[in-house]
Amino acid sequence: MTIYFNNGVYADKETMKVSIDDRGYYFGDGVYEVVKVYDGKLYTAEEHFTRFLQSAKKIRLDLPYTIEEFTEIAKKLAVDNGIVEGHVYIQATRGAAPRMHNFPGEDVVPMITAYAIHNPRPLSKIKEGVAVKTTDDIRWLRCDIKSLNLLGNVLAKQEAYEAGCAEAVFVRDGIVTEGSSSNMFGVKDGILYTHPATNLILNGITRRVVLKLCAKHSIGVMEEPFTLEQFNEMDELFLTSTTSEITPIVSVDGKPVGEGVPGRVTERLQQVFEETIHELKME
Ligand code: PLP
């Protein structure tokens, strides 16, 4: 039995019902978050739920819970489902109403659903690295919103999978923006490069953790756009996300990155990131 959350009710997944008229279903009119659970504890929950409320605000969706209340919901789901290592998924749509593009009336309430699921850390990918494929960034211009509208991301990820790659790297006007479900980082001469947190990328929570760790451990950072040519000439590459953590990239479009193995700066960051997980476990 998997316990889900649905607008204030905790119940078995099989008993949950969402309207056929839900705007998430019609338009992808909603936002979502994924929060990692390590050792039964939520990792960076405050940052995730702050971003959740910010995403909702950007699409003019008023959510009926605070950051603290969302955190309690996520905790309860992890506990009730016995999740030790996994994640909590939470989404909010603009609710159910007969299909019309403009917003429904005030009487329509958001539909909030959430669950917790077992999901072990992808340790072999984290250790050995992954291959990626570049692709045109065909998405809209509000990639800073963690929107349910993920068609551009879905098509890119599928293209990468069909090429035997773990992730797609978006390139917009010659600039590397981010992955289909991750942020992109390069290392050149010991300096870390990543796209700035503009409307063209999602400002990942893991990305922010990495930038904080760089500041703490005196690793130089350039948050500036870089071209695909620069990306291809980096000494090291890695991607970050809540579930992938810090995953080295060892080849791009079939060509090896550096020696074709995870780089030193990447491994150092993985090490200090790991310490943040251990600190959480010690709490
Ligand atoms: N960029 C995109 C498009 C994503 O979908 C994600 C995560 O799913 C990320 C970046 C990484 O964000 P986070 O580190 O918060 O998981």
Q: Which of 146, 188, 212, 281 is catalytic?
A: 146
Q: Best mutation site among 35, 143, 202 for ligand 1, i.e. most ligand atoms within 8 A of its Cβ? A: 202
Furthest CA-CA distance within the chain: 59
| Ligand 1 atom at shortest distance from the alpha carbon of 51 | 15
* Ligand 1 center from residue 168 Cα (angstroms): 13
Judge if the beta carbon of residue 93 lies within 6 A of ligand 1: no
Judge if the beta carbon of residue 182 lies within 6 A of ligand 1: yes
pLDDT of 281 strictly over 90: no
Atom 10 of ligand 1: nearest residue by CA position: 182
**Res 94: pLDDT:** 98
Judge if the beta carbon of residue 242 lies within 6 A of ligand 1: yes
Indicate the average pLDDT of the chain.
97
| Ligand 1 atom at shortest distance from the alpha carbon of 209 | 14
User: Catalytic site residue 133?
Assistant: no
**Res 131: pLDDT:** 98
ipTM of predicted assembly, 2 dp: 0.99
Instruction: Write the pLDDT tens digit of every residue in 92-142.
Output: 999 999 999 999 999 999 999 999 999 999 999 999 999 999 999 999 999
Instruction: Write the pLDDT tens digit of every residue in 200-246.
Output: 999 999 999 999 999 999 999 999 999 999 999 999 999 999 999 99
Domains present along the chain, CATH in parentheses: 3-118 (3.30.470.10), 123-282 (3.20.10.10)
| Ligand 1 atom at shortest distance from the alpha carbon of 206 | 14
**Res 49: pLDDT:** 98
